Each structure stands twice: as C-alpha cells, then as structure tokens.
Amino acid sequence: RSSDLARYGFFKELVMLDYIWLVPLFPAVSFIINGLMGRRIPRKFVGLIGCSAIGLSFFFSLLLFFELIGLPPAGRHHEVEIFEWVVSGNFRTVIGYQLDPLSILMALVVSGVSFFIHIYSIGYMHGDPGYPRYFTYLNLFVFMMLTLVLANNFLLMFVGWEGVGLCSYLLIGFWFEKDS
C-alpha cells in the first residue's frame, strides 16, 4: 500500500512539472482570441479574457513553485520539450521550457505583476477605441516575456527577447494617430 502511494506521489509530481508549458500558453491563447475576435465581442469580455489568461498563468506558476520547492535541492531542475524546431545534421534545437528556482521566480514576477497591470488597464483604457488592440498587444507581451524567462535554450530565449522588444514598440506607439 505504501509503495502505491509513493508511486502516486512521484506520478503526481512528474505530471505537474510537465505542465510548465501552460504558463505561457494562456497569454498566447488570449492574444489569439482578442486579436481575431476582439472587435466582435463586447469590451467587457476582451478585458475578462485578457485578465483571466494572466491570472491562470499566475495560478499555475504558483502551483509549479510549490511543487518545485517540495523537491530536494538537487532535483529542482526540470525541462519539457514541446517539439523540435531546427534540425540540421548534428545541430538540434527544440521549443521547450525549463523549470528551476530562478525561472519559476521570474515567471511568478512576470505573471503576478502583469495580472495587476491587466486589471488596472481595464479602467485606464475604458472608452478608448483601440481597447481590443491594446489587450492583444499586452497579452502578446506577457507571452513573450514568459517565453524569455522559461526558455530552455538560447535561441528560444532570443525569440522571447525580440518579441518583448516588438511588443514594447507596439505598446509605446499605441496612440500613433495622435499628433502629440
């Protein structure tokens, strides 16, 4: 009986850590939904979709944090490979995420602060004609930031870094129609 519980505990731990890909997935899905349907759905739902996605990312980051600190210090590194990206001869690069104390701490900071920024933005952007576009950019920004801090290789980290730069450009130039 105790061996069954030990196996279940290991299985539960392994399965939970394997869901690290959900943390950046929620903002990516919100980016797609708000980007494609943002003008067709009520503004209330645009903000709700954006905030919910970031809230779910923060919630899963918290779950993963508590799972990770429950492991022995030597076992606090976990990688999940999603798919192979670039394969050429002996060179192989994958899209994947890693979980270690630093990356989960950064994921908590990014998703936690972003959640409050999203909530604040609902009121701040109220009445702006670009409301859906703003939340689309903001969710893409969070997705890229989470990709940057959770990437398991330098090439994916570079993609996250460049994505953050692009989103910064889009958000800084959000009111491009104003002369000021």
Backbone angles phi, psi at 98, to 5 degrees: -120, 150
- pTM for this predicted structure: 0.86
Tell me, what's the pLDDT at 180? 62
pLDDT tens, the chain, 180 aa long: 334 444 445 444 445 778 899 999 999 999 999 999 988 998 889 999 999 999 999 999 999 999 999 888 888 998 999 989 888 889 888 899 999 999 999 999 999 999 999 999 999 988 888 889 999 999 999 999 999 999 999 999 999 999 999 999 998 888 777 666
Tell me, what's the pLDDT at 6? 47
Tell me, what's the pLDDT at 52? 96
Interhelix angle 43-69/131-150, rounded to 10 degrees, is 10
